[in-house]
Structure 1
């Protein structure tokens, strides 16, 4: 009932369209129910009782009346088919907006455990089936119930005994449908899970197609895909076996209904309990009676697809964001950039802490470098500041305010991040730079590119700032993408800057230009640098050596070398590798 209530809520903005759709369905059903009555009237009264001289006049009047009703039926059918589907499409669009907006609220931890391909399946495939259910569901049920009830009453008036026997056969059909419905719901849910896995595998393989080809692993990817594809095929085969029994079983019961009418009709005609014209009308009404049953049987597959899709939709919508604004969260005004960690600990879902009891005070405008062995928690340390993850213990303050008491949008607005793996959106260079400040003018974009040492290479491209970068920036080199990422940060102009190994994957020439850009970007900002090449952080105001046990060492480059501890060991190891 809770699922049904949430489903009905999506009809509320379109109540007018919905009730008009139901009204048209009512008119449609009434016209279809009236036709056999008109035939009965013609057979029993007009053709047998009316004078032949007046017969043509009566038939013409009845014909005109039927023509007008079918004109009305045309417009009702048009509304149901067009505006009814538009209503379903509008509901689908609302659901897609809701799920997309909700996905924007979920933290990194949700995406760490959820495959993008499976999410795409829920947003596209599931919602299409929900849309079809939203339109056809109420309409088909309403029309079918009207026709079944209306035809049953008329059949009862023609011959109660035959109708009661048919009623019991119909009850058996209903039980049969209920039994197979339960089985179909389970298998359709399995189908959803399997096709989502196939979508996820396709997305994963195509996203990494360059790695696939570089290792000549097309065969491996084909095998992985084939495995998932065959599992999906098996569940589809099972569902079609069940559907085959379901539809053929209902077809058998419909045949039994016709057989019952013919046999019992013959018996009643032979003993004078039924005339031939009433039997003809009775058979016509059996068709009216069976047509909605047949529609409901066919609708069953659509219903199961739609309802399992909506359940999967709700699974996402019911996932509460584990990081969200506190009720009394405030805007961060005139930030200076002072950051303080107080007894901060953090671990992922495996139960082991990455960070333990971290205490750090970073003064505004200082340049701090984070170094240490891989897996020591450097990126995690930085991810806690914009609340991409939530600290398990302790607190993090910016300008003396606990970041939990700052609105997320306000907090992340004051933090700029330049990462090693730059993500480029499909679009132009101009659009990618403007991502740092969507309302920026073209002049501001150009100025940011110049400060990032990107303007010259952009102007050398055929379309300049309008150059299409390709999926994930595939048409640009690593150094070019990195400079565009830095231009984004210049445009955002944040008081706090996080540089996550921004130059570690670049060649020496690119690193030289980008290092100059980063030095320019870091001026007068609180900067945290995660460094792979220790030679790039010699001039940092303070270097923190971070390990699984916490802050092992801290100090300037010279101080740490003189200590001859972990930093000195790491530095000497790199120096030996270079020499």
Structure 2
């Protein structure tokens, strides 16, 4: 492992520990109680030394019971301190883990739309589950263990050298023996640990994908094909795990062998010192207890550091994630408008995604407050991209977009998002009640306001027919509702929010004719007096719009009202005729 990589992992380690910083006082009490507990543990071998060298030769029963009484009192004190320490540890661990979870969620929201389009959901779920668990393991297990073991080892080594310096020096070659062989296994184990971490993420993403695609896989009768792909990821994960842990345990075996060799040397040299009278039997007994305990603790610390290095590769995923800079963020001095009217202007806007060519090329548009604008054109010409730019999910590469003559980049993001409402083709509903799904548009709304919004969205009647009315649980993503019902819930939610600008992205394209009529009635209520931008799938829904923009290869090909564009007999005219022909073919009777 290179020095730069070691330095990076140490930086990640310090970052992970930084979440404990707000809890310095309880953590300090944990360290203090560990010192007292360690002192009591280390005084026991001294009691044994005193028993062997003083009490036994003199056969002093009174002194024996006094020593026994002191031992019992100290053990009770140690038990109490251990209880206090464990309680403090639990509080610090859980609060630090909670803060980490919260910071990840906060950062995830800051990263915005572009992050979710680049990264699959399975990767994010793996981050939130597996990688966060690794940090929690650091707080819950490794850090308390390290504090206790290091304190014990340092004090024990001090006592060992105070008993006999020459005998204690044997510890040094014992460690050197390991480091003559250990680095080779250290490097190999680190490389395999990194590979293991990568394969675990790949396995988790594949499991999520397999579960998400369950219906499609069954409908295509492709279970064997999908199982083979899943098993391939699982096998890669298992093989890398076996290799990583094999080298980790080989490394541990070598380390333990080194201190057992040291113990043999101490036994040999210690017996010589006892026979020469340089060291008493009690001192030698205490020394051996201290040595084995200290070496066991030191070995455990080294093993713990090795295991934490493996954890650091997992935690590094979170560290890298937290350090991703949001592409969209507030300016240093964002403007807050007193009242947003809804005037929208595009000025020479150019845009391209990182992995594609230019999607929008020199787009210009001026929309007055309350106007309704429709974007039409074939797929891939930038219609939905314009809505994303308007909501500032992305920023243009060139040009600017203004609301009420203020650039979106200068507006405060929270005010911009509050002033814009979205109705997409795919509606996301939470797995809770109808009431709470509508209240999502305005968390502070009263029940009366929710009812009024539902009535205006033509949703009240079907909601009242549900099993528990507004308190009906609608299942994951609203699985108990039809497409038209979901859209009307979404529109009720938007009515409750009452934004100045509405963005509709093919909101009715996936609905049948009856559902579309119901949703269109709801939209008529929603759009009154609002500046509206619609990505239109069906031309019949935008015939009364103020402007229709026909996009072709990222540019404005045609612009005007419905009648004006039909009179031109251009691209829009051909689109209308094509849709009309398609509708006529669908309405022809089947059979003879």
Using the size of structure 1 for normalisation, the TM-score is 0.95
Three-state SS of the structure 2 residue aligned to 1:10 is helix
Of 141, 149, 154 in structure 2, the residue corresponding to residue 144 of structure 1 is 149
Query: In the alignment, is residue 431 of structure 1 matched against residue 440 of structure 2?
Result: no
State the distance in 2 between where 1:457 and 1:138 align: 56
**How far apart are 1:16 and its partner, in Å?**
1.1
Render the CA deviation track for 1:114-169: whole Å, top value 9, x for unaligned.
12222222222222222232354454334333333333333334443332223211
State the distance in 2 between where 1:169 and 1:15 align: 36
**How far apart are 1:175 and its partner, in Å?**
6.2
State whether residues 559 and 565 of structure 2, in contact with CA within 8 Å, keep that contact through their aligned partners in structure 1.
Answer: yes
Superposed CA RMSD in Å reads: 2.0
State the distance in 2 between where 1:404 and 1:341 align: 13
Distance 1:224 1:383, change over 3 A: same
**How far apart are 1:313 and its partner, in Å?**
1.5
State whether residues 133 and 302 of structure 1, in contact with CA within 8 Å, keep that contact through their aligned partners in structure 2.
Answer: no
**How far apart are 1:390 and its partner, in Å?**
0.8
State the distance in 2 between where 1:539 and 1:152 align: 87
Match of residue 15 from structure 1: 24
Q: Which runs of 5+ in 1 are unaligned?
A: none
Render the CA deviation track for 1:28-83: whole Å, top value 9, x for unaligned.
211121111111111111211x3x4xx12111111111111111111222233332
Three-state SS of the structure 2 residue aligned to 1:11 is helix
Query: In the alignment, is residue 29 of structure 1 matched against residue 34 of structure 2?
Result: no
State the distance in 1 between where 2:486 and 2:306 align: 49
Query: In the alignment, is residue 561 of structure 1 matched against residue 566 of structure 2?
Result: yes
**How far apart are 1:301 and its partner, in Å?**
4.7
**How far apart are 1:549 and its partner, in Å?**
4.2
Q: How does 1:229-268 map to 2 (within 5 A)?
A: 229-268=234-273
State whether residues 129 and 302 of structure 1, in contact with CA within 8 Å, keep that contact through their aligned partners in structure 2.
Answer: no
Of 552, 557, 567 in structure 2, the residue corresponding to residue 547 of structure 1 is 552
Query: In the alignment, is residue 41 of structure 1 matched against residue 50 of structure 2?
Result: yes
State whether residues 539 and 576 of structure 2, in contact with CA within 8 Å, keep that contact through their aligned partners in structure 1.
Answer: yes
Query: In the alignment, is residue 80 of structure 1 matched against residue 85 of structure 2?
Result: yes
State whether residues 356 and 549 of structure 1, in contact with CA within 8 Å, keep that contact through their aligned partners in structure 2.
Answer: yes
State whether residues 53 and 281 of structure 2, in contact with CA within 8 Å, keep that contact through their aligned partners in structure 1.
Answer: no
State the distance in 1 between where 2:472 and 2:200 align: 36
State whether residues 434 and 440 of structure 1, in contact with CA within 8 Å, keep that contact through their aligned partners in structure 2.
Answer: yes
Of 483, 488, 496 in structure 1, the residue corresponding to residue 488 of structure 2 is 483
Aligned length: 575
State the distance in 2 between where 1:538 and 1:282 align: 94
Three-state SS of the structure 1 residue aligned to 2:551 is strand
Match of residue 203 from structure 1: 208
More divergent stretch after superposition (250-259 vs 569-578): 250-259
State the distance in 2 between where 1:150 and 1:556 align: 86
State the distance in 1 between where 2:433 and 2:207 align: 26
**How far apart are 1:534 and its partner, in Å?**
1.0
State whether residues 553 and 560 of structure 1, in contact with CA within 8 Å, keep that contact through their aligned partners in structure 2.
Answer: yes
State whether residues 451 and 520 of structure 1, in contact with CA within 8 Å, keep that contact through their aligned partners in structure 2.
Answer: yes
State the distance in 1 between where 2:205 and 2:334 align: 37
Match of residue 538 from structure 2: 533
Three-state SS of the structure 1 residue aligned to 2:348 is strand
State the distance in 2 between where 1:549 and 1:128 align: 45
Query: In the alignment, is residue 467 of structure 1 matched against residue 476 of structure 2?
Result: no
State the distance in 1 between where 2:366 and 2:213 align: 41
Of 166, 171, 174 in structure 1, the residue corresponding to residue 176 of structure 2 is 171
Using the size of structure 2 for normalisation, the TM-score is 0.93
Render the CA deviation track for 1:69-107: whole Å, top value 9, x for unaligned.
111111222233332132112111101100110100112
State the distance in 2 between where 1:131 and 1:534 align: 54
State whether residues 373 and 533 of structure 2, in contact with CA within 8 Å, keep that contact through their aligned partners in structure 1.
Answer: yes
Render the CA deviation track for 1:259-300: whole Å, top value 9, x for unaligned.
222233344445555444433222212222222123214423
State whether residues 428 and 467 of structure 1, in contact with CA within 8 Å, keep that contact through their aligned partners in structure 2.
Answer: yes
**How far apart are 1:444 and its partner, in Å?**
0.9
Three-state SS of the structure 2 residue aligned to 1:213 is helix
Of 402, 411, 415 in structure 1, the residue corresponding to residue 407 of structure 2 is 402
Query: In the alignment, is residue 154 of structure 1 matched against residue 163 of structure 2?
Result: no
State the distance in 2 between where 1:261 and 1:522 align: 88
Q: Which runs of 5+ in 2 are unaligned?
A: 1-9, 585-592
Query: In the alignment, is residue 495 of structure 1 matched against residue 504 of structure 2?
Result: no
Match of residue 225 from structure 1: 230
Of 211, 217, 222 in structure 2, the residue corresponding to residue 212 of structure 1 is 217
Match of residue 458 from structure 2: 453
More divergent stretch after superposition (143-152 vs 236-245): 143-152
Three-state SS of the structure 2 residue aligned to 1:479 is helix
More divergent stretch after superposition (213-222 vs 37-46): 213-222
